[in-house]
Amino acid sequence: MNFDTFEPVYEAILIDFGFDRDADERARDVAAESSTPFDLSRFDDWEGRTVAVAGGAPRLREDAEIRIAREADVVVAASTAADVLLEAGVAVDCLVTDLDKNPETAVELTERGVPVAAHAHGDNVPAVREWLPRFDADHTLTTTQAAPVGPVRNVGGFTDGDRAAFLADHVGAGRLTFPGWNFDDPDVDPMKTRKLEWAARLLGWLERLRGERFAVLDDRRERVRHEVDALLAE
């Protein structure tokens, strides 16, 4: 995914949530000050392989969900999914986070040489200033949802989970699986519910681009397909 392709969707997200693009760009620039270029060729061994994109829903603790992650060739964890998987003895190959829940885990992983994709957006500048300098820069990929600048990349995606899927796609992953996802989680607040709706749309778009069918969308594919059609027609 390149930014020119992603930008119309990004603009739709800004409008829907009332987010400030200038704020995203300021966050990106703050992140750039503490970032160094990250060589995506480190992910070359993901190419053509099964990548589990682990979400942080409570169901991730279920044996069946853990098994999906364990059986994958590569595991990319969104936010606190990393903690659950590590506790279960499942190795995490990359953590994708916007620093809002478990930044200590991200620091520890970079110190162990595990890549972390750290995301900067308009609402998390204090966290970016506090935590990004603590990461081992050699193992940190800094991302933005605005236009990429310098070492800060945009490979697509909005929430940690769907951004992890777009990252996997960007580097040539084969089959994608989705343990620990729940678009209908009753325990999240209204803002998170809206973000999950967007995550589903973005996965629906990615599914179409890849010519793949993600099992996580099986109960909502038709609705998501119509939403993606409307989104891309704007």
Domain definitions of the chain by residue range: 3-233
Looking at residue 3, its pLDDT comes to 95
d(CA 167, CA 234): 25
Q: What is the mean pLDDT of residues 145-154?
A: 97
Single pTM value for the model: 0.97
Banded model confidence at residue 234, pLDDT cuts 50, 70, 90: confident
Q: How confident is the model at residue 62 (pLDDT cuts 50, 70, 90)?
A: very high
Position 233 scores a pLDDT of: 87
Per-residue pLDDT for 93 more than 80? yes
Mean pLDDT throughout 70-98?
98
pLDDT attached to residue 140: 98
The torsion defined by the Cα of 35, 37, 41 and 47, in degrees rounded to 10, comes to 50
Q: How far is 138 from 115, CA to CA, in rounded Å?
A: 8
Residue 9 pLDDT grade (very low, low, confident, very high; cuts 50, 70, 90): very high
Query: Does the pLDDT value for residue 187 go beyond 90?
Result: no
Tokens read off for 95: 């953590």
- Total H helices, total E strands in the chain: 9, 6
Q: Which residues, other chains included, contact 209 with Cβ-Cβ below 8 Å and sequence gap of 6+?
A: 169
